[in-house]
Structure 1
Amino acid sequence: MRDLVIVLGVMAMLPFILKRPFIGVLVWTWIAILNPHREAFGFSVSLRLNLVIVLVTLIAFAASPERKQWPGGKIAALFVGFIAWTTLASLLAVDRPSSFQFWFDFVIKMAIHMILAMILITSRHRLMALVWTYALSLGYHATKIALVTIYSGGSIGQLAGFGPSGTMIEDRNHFALAMALLTPILFFIWRRAEHKLLRIGALMLIAAAILAVIGSQSRGGFVTMALVLGYLWTKTRLKWLTAGLVVVGALGIFAALPPELKERLGTITAQLDKGEDRYANEAPELDESFCLRLAAWHVGWDMTMDSPVWGSGLRSIQSPIAATPYLSPDHPCADSPKYGVRAAHNIYVEVLSDSGFVGLGIFLTLLAGSWLLCLSVMVRARRIPGMEWAADLASMVQVGLIAYAAGGVLLSLAYYDGYFLLIVMVVCADRLLREAEGRAPARRALPDETPPGPREMRRRRKAPAARPLRA
């Protein structure tokens, strides 16, 4: 029954997508982030619903009379350059079939999704629709895992799957980072929502995201979420009151944590206690998880040294054909049964081994440039009446980028849709801001597409009736 509801619901959206391709971008975002068909247990799990939405959206985009214009800017160009270089790296990959499979399943569809979004987001209404779709899609997973965390007393961290199966956030560490990216967007909704119930809902989802990270037992997720919450605390008005509430809440949560989770948290700083000596062969207290990550980084570096310009191809570090020759029997973790071909566990090593120093350079420039663009939007938007929302959104996207850059040190999430959607948000906010500044021509949406908000409706009702002109 659940499968039928999901499939019929998606099919019901097709006529609306054919009429307005931007609805296809929203449905595409919903499926890419939430993966509703993965929440069922029948025939819908194996269906390529996202592929159906992709094809219908592309047809609607090509046939739509709406004016199509690239948003411009260096960040949008860098994104296209990064996708082009990863495509070249796939063509030259050591394990070409595996590389192209990942390129088709994740990279190219993600790229088309982001490009269409940047072209079709031509108004604040559309940008806010994307923000809400992103927040509610990830918010569903946050709520689900938060409830399971409460029910299990925080003892679910060793479960195999947290996010939808077969997706980038299935792993608990990746899921925790996705929650850290979600939290500042929810904070933005809390600050800008006009209805009290919406603000309360945003706060509840923030609490759910925090509980989901606790349930994941991801040490990197804990640190990343702490960074995000620390920054968001500086944006609150009643800092002493909120600090007291946070301390009391943190103490209460810590007291309720299971012993194995407390022990795991205690190992966060233990890696730095003895410096390099900790990873000597005779060190019995060596942390296997961290050591295996170091081993994967060594493999990625050695692979890059053999192909420094364009790398070894997408997901080459996880390919037995490409990565096995670089496993060293002399590594401190070589005796571990888990030692072998593994994920990079680092977005920078992942991109480096995938597409070489050139690809990593583009990736880092895109990340740093997006952060600087957020700063630019924050400064410029506050000078223009009515554009304060853009400053708030850019500020929260900036927090998400910091979380991604920090949390990605221990995770393989370089091509995650949620990260690139943050970049799309700031690129579109910058374009709308340049239009308001008169530096770019306005890209108009359909005239009946942007209804007035509640404040505008109240203002119109309270406004005196216009007097007729006298001859």
Structure 2
Amino acid sequence: MRDLAFVAIMIPLLGMAAARPFVGALLWSWISFMSPQREMWGFASALPWAQTTFLVTLLGCAIAREPKRLPLNAVTVLLLLFGAGVTATSLVALQSAEIVWREWERVMKILAGVLLTAALLTTRERIHALIWMIAIALGFFGVKGGIFTVMTGGVHKVLGPPDSILADRNHLATALLVVVPLMNYLRLQSRHAIVRTGLAAAMVSTVFAAIGSQSRGALVALIASAFVFWVRSRGKITSGIIVAAVVAAVLTFMPESWVERMRTIQDYEHEGSAMGRVMIWTASWQIALARPLTGGGFRAMYSQEIVNRYAPGIPARAAHSIWFETLGEHGFVVFALWLGVLAAGMAYSLRVVRLARREPELRWAYDLARMAQVSTVAYAAGGTFLSLQYWDVQWTLMAALAAAHGLVAAAVREAAPAPAQPTAPGWR
């Protein structure tokens, strides 16, 4: 019954995507970010919903009469160059061709979806709708996981949807901390008290869910993002009290078993999982040094034979770091492109804040830019300890910041007074 209901919802939505491509972009984001089909138990879970949605949206772009052109800004250009770069490194990868090209295909599909979405982010309303979609897709697990954590006393771990990028509890925890600031942006922009109250409750529940994952990286990301959240909030005293109260309540609520697990962060030298990460980071660095232009290719660190070639004695495994895994897989050039996407998004956010600070009609962009900065800090801090370097949500957020910057810059130019024309001699 659940599968039939899901299919019944998807069919008309796909029809709308063919007529209005931006609906398709939102639908693709929902499928890609949330993997709702993984909540099904039957035939619907195995159908290629993301691919179908992408193709239908492309069809809509071909037949719909609306502006659609990929904006050539720093984020989109760097994403295109990154795609070309990982293609080049895949041609000379050390891992087996089957594994490499399967991973390459997955990343290319993500890039295509993000770039298609970027081409359709032409208005403030569309950017706002996209942020709502991110909040709904990830907030579903935050609200559900937070309730589960409270009801079980924090004893059991919160997990993500199976067979998805968020299946790993560490990945899920970071994703939840990324979405909390975006929920706050929506709260700040919402006119109705019920919506604002609901979003505030969802934020608290999502923090509970992130901590309920029992991920040590989530605790690090929570502390880092909570500090930046306070710095980027409007009322420092009020927001400081609220942030401190929420974090204290969550940490106090968790059981002793959680506390004991978190204490291992201080003694990481004697903790097997932490030292395993440090060792594989060393191997990733050695591979990058030996092959600075290409790295080892996709999933090089997962092969014991490859790891032994450059760092003998270190067990092969996932690098569990967005920084070291990208560097080891693709070398310094592609790593710079990947890092450049984040840097470009942050640069746009800083410029938006500067341009929109004193413009009431641009307050939406000001709030979005500041909260996106908090989200990126959560991603960077949490991602230091997990393999989430090809995450479509973060790339989509960077594309949204670039689109917001374009709209803000255009609005500022239009509002600027026209320069006075020089008066010709004799016409005074």
Q: TM-score if structure 1 supplies the norm length? A: 0.83
Aligned match of 1:375: 350
User: 5 Å matches for 1:132-211?
Assistant: 132-157=132-157, 162-211=159-208
Q: Kindly provide the CA deviation profile for residues 90-111 of structure 1, in whole angstroms up to 9, marking residues without a partner as x.
A: 2222222111111212x11111
Aligned match of 1:80: 80
Shifted more, 123-132 versus 309-318: the winner is: 309-318
Aligned match of 1:299: 283
Tell me, in whole angstroms, the C-alpha distance in 1 between the residues paired with 2:397 and 2:15. 28
Shifted more, 386-395 versus 254-263: the winner is: 254-263
Q: Kindly provide the CA deviation profile for residues 288-339 of structure 1, in whole angstroms up to 9, marking residues without a partner as x.
A: 011110121122122223322012212222245644545633x5xxxxxxxx
Secondary structure at the counterpart of residue 68 of structure 1: coil
Q: Kindly provide the CA deviation profile for residues 136-168 of structure 1, in whole angstroms up to 9, marking residues without a partner as x.
A: 1100011121122112211223x7xx1111222
Q: Once the 2 structures are TM-superposed, how far is the Cα of residue 240 of structure 1 from its aligned partner?
A: 4.2
Distance verdict in 2 for CA 1:241–1:388, change over 3 Å = closer
Distance verdict in 2 for CA 1:63–1:301, change over 3 Å = same
Aligned match of 2:396: 421
Aligned match of 1:122: 122
Distance verdict in 2 for CA 1:18–1:301, change over 3 Å = same
Choose from 292, 303, 317 the match for 1:308.
292
Aligned match of 1:407: 382
Aligned match of 2:423: none
Counterpart check, 1:10 vs 2:6: no
Aligned match of 1:464: none
Aligned residue pair count? 414
Q: Once the 2 structures are TM-superposed, how far is the Cα of residue 411 of structure 1 from its aligned partner?
A: 1.1
Tell me, in whole angstroms, the C-alpha distance in 1 between the residues paired with 2:111 and 2:289. 28
Distance verdict in 2 for CA 1:18–1:320, change over 3 Å = farther
Aligned match of 2:312: 328
Q: Once the 2 structures are TM-superposed, how far is the Cα of residue 201 of structure 1 from its aligned partner?
A: 1.4
Equivalent pair of 1:37/1:44 in contact (CA under 8 Å):
yes
Tell me, in whole angstroms, the C-alpha distance in 2 between the residues paired with 1:379 and 1:245. 26
User: 5 Å matches for 1:40-79?
Assistant: 40-79=40-79
Distance verdict in 2 for CA 1:419–1:252, change over 3 Å = closer
Q: Kindly provide the CA deviation profile for residues 159-206 of structure 1, in whole angstroms up to 9, marking residues without a partner as x.
A: 7xx111122211111111101110110111111111111111111111
Counterpart check, 1:96 vs 2:97: yes
Tell me, in whole angstroms, the C-alpha distance in 1 between the residues paired with 2:412 and 2:236. 34
Distance verdict in 2 for CA 1:200–1:110, change over 3 Å = same
Equivalent pair of 2:204/2:246 in contact (CA under 8 Å):
no
Tell me, in whole angstroms, the C-alpha distance in 1 between the residues paired with 2:147 and 2:175. 17
Choose from 319, 332, 338 the match for 1:363.
338
Q: Once the 2 structures are TM-superposed, how far is the Cα of residue 70 of structure 1 from its aligned partner?
A: 2.7
Tell me, in whole angstroms, the C-alpha distance in 1 between the residues paired with 2:83 and 2:375. 21
Distance verdict in 2 for CA 1:321–1:39, change over 3 Å = farther
Q: Once the 2 structures are TM-superposed, how far is the Cα of residue 434 of structure 1 from its aligned partner?
A: 2.5
Residue 154 of structure 2 aligns with an amino acid whose one-letter code is G
Aligned match of 1:430: 405
Tell me, in whole angstroms, the C-alpha distance in 2 between the residues paired with 1:199 and 1:36. 25
How many percent identity over aligned positions?
A: 33
Equivalent pair of 1:98/1:319 in contact (CA under 8 Å):
no
Residue 214 of structure 2 aligns with an amino acid whose one-letter code is Q
Secondary structure at the counterpart of residue 13 of structure 1: helix
Shifted more, 319-328 versus 377-386: the winner is: 319-328
Residue 311 of structure 1 aligns with an amino acid whose one-letter code is G
Q: Once the 2 structures are TM-superposed, how far is the Cα of residue 376 of structure 1 from its aligned partner?
A: 0.6
Aligned match of 1:386: 361
**For structure 1, which runs of at least 5 residues remain unmatched after alignment?**
272-277, 279-285, 332-339, 440-471
Residue 42 of structure 2 aligns with an amino acid whose one-letter code is G
Q: Once the 2 structures are TM-superposed, how far is the Cα of residue 210 of structure 1 from its aligned partner?
A: 0.6
RMSD of aligned Cα (Å): 2.1
Aligned match of 1:342: 317
Tell me, in whole angstroms, the C-alpha distance in 1 between the residues paired with 2:12 and 2:305. 44
Q: Once the 2 structures are TM-superposed, how far is the Cα of residue 396 of structure 1 from its aligned partner?
A: 1.1
**For structure 2, which runs of at least 5 residues remain unmatched after alignment?**
415-428
Shifted more, 234-243 versus 361-370: the winner is: 234-243
